[in-house]
Structure 1
């Protein structure tokens, strides 16, 4: 946990997908992100990931929702590849932290990147290693990589899951080459859909999400280690995905049309507010 003192409580939320337990969000007075309280211990945290619905840990396509998810993922993989290609050097070394079943690593590998991945979930890691010729490791490997090893480090909806937040930011800084790029994608609690759904907003996803970010908090976090946010990019698909799930949590059933409507409204408003449901931060080392 970050060492700063927290302010008054921000919101009470429930773990809708696994335990049904109650949690509370507090705003961190130093950085501006929200902290989940209580935070599970390292021993109990894996229990909160034990759900057949945790799609990033499986390649299953059991229903329409999962099929749509994988279709969207195909499109997003191309967009992610285009983004990292714009920051590649001649060596093209990539570390994807929290790589799930390895689809992004496989896409990059097919496009001449030398890839490494970190994935704590054993089943997902085994699938990823089949795709990447055993280039994916558990979390302990982070401390074993040589300093300044990577041109690009990516965390696609992963930073919010990591304990010891400041320590991890320092590790990523150490592993990046001097002119390397850190790419972080996280939900944005300042978005329209977050404000609309409040405690039912699926992207709070407590207690798996330990932290909940806005633009100010990411900038402050990385500036502490002499890195700088160059730009942010919206993730428009996320507004629909999150709104579908939020409708289910709020009303007890999936509402396709309501989810589409709120997702569209959130994306439309973000054109002027720049507060999309999820944001990609392109961060430069220096």
Structure 2
């Protein structure tokens, strides 16, 4: 895929760690944005070094973190219900980017044979203490070995996007299901907050997807996008953070209102803050 600098979509700032600015370049064929410049692998890790990177901690230091974890518990049950509805015969589940492991713990409780992958050592240690088993390398897993592979807000982080997608095709069973959740840069809240939209989260988010992006990328490996579902809570979480980036303070009323407006807009335009993509073999 070609990403030319003259196809610059927007300039955005890393608000949470480095305060550096990055360009988002647009590939028109795939309707996909790429963060530019892309940090090399040996320095990318430093952009995750923040106590505020909430998915790598079980911390409940602030009211915001307490609300996050409260919503997270409800969302996890919904995620497990979703994979079971898509794959009623429970089997082997791989979750890539498992964080602190709570999704896999719930899936195991509901009868799934679980395996996780998580590069962050602190988050992984928390998950191991909860009974989660991990693989060290998803590229050395056996072919056709998983009934479901999930990536909850992970695909936007991977440097080698096309290689990752080809590997997902390889390790999923012919009758299996891949479930991908990523932010949607065409949502109402993305357009409203523009360069302050928290879900751009550069440079940790290396890619920024639309529905066309996901459909085209998986079509390239002979997989089909079967369904798209909204992540209702994401618009509120992202809007709250976006308000903080835009105004310097956490405005719960304004953030809630914009999050609500985004969901209402999504009902009509089918463009929500984040989407869940259900993908199967053709």
Does structure 1 residue 154 correspond to structure 2 residue 153? no
State the distance in 2 between where 1:150 and 1:89 align. 14
Asked if structure 1 preserves the Cα contact closer than 8 Å seen for 2:3 and 2:26, the reply is no
Unaligned runs of 5+ residues in structure 2 are none
Give runs of ≥4 in structure 1 deviating > 4 Å. Answer: none
Structure 1 partner of 2:43: 44
Paired residues, number: 281
State the distance in 1 between where 2:51 and 2:32 align. 29
Match runs of 1:14-163 below 5 Å:
14-88=13-87, 90=89, 92-133=91-132, 135-138=133-136, 141-163=137-159
Structure 2 partner of 1:269: 265
Shift of 1:137: 3.2
Q: Quick one: structure 1 residues 238 and 146, their matched pair in 2 at CA, closer, same or farther if it must change by over 3 Å?
A: same
Shift of 1:130: 1.7
Describe the SS at the equivalent of 1:195. Answer: helix
Describe the SS at the equivalent of 2:98. Answer: coil
Shift of 1:143: 1.6
Unaligned runs of 5+ residues in structure 1 are none
Asked if structure 1 preserves the Cα contact closer than 8 Å seen for 2:7 and 2:27, the reply is no
TM-score w.r.t. length of structure 1: 0.96
Shift of 1:10: 0.4
State the distance in 2 between where 1:184 and 1:26 align. 22
TM-score w.r.t. length of structure 2: 0.97
Asked if structure 2 preserves the Cα contact closer than 8 Å seen for 1:34 and 1:213, the reply is yes
Cα RMSD between the aligned structures? 1.1
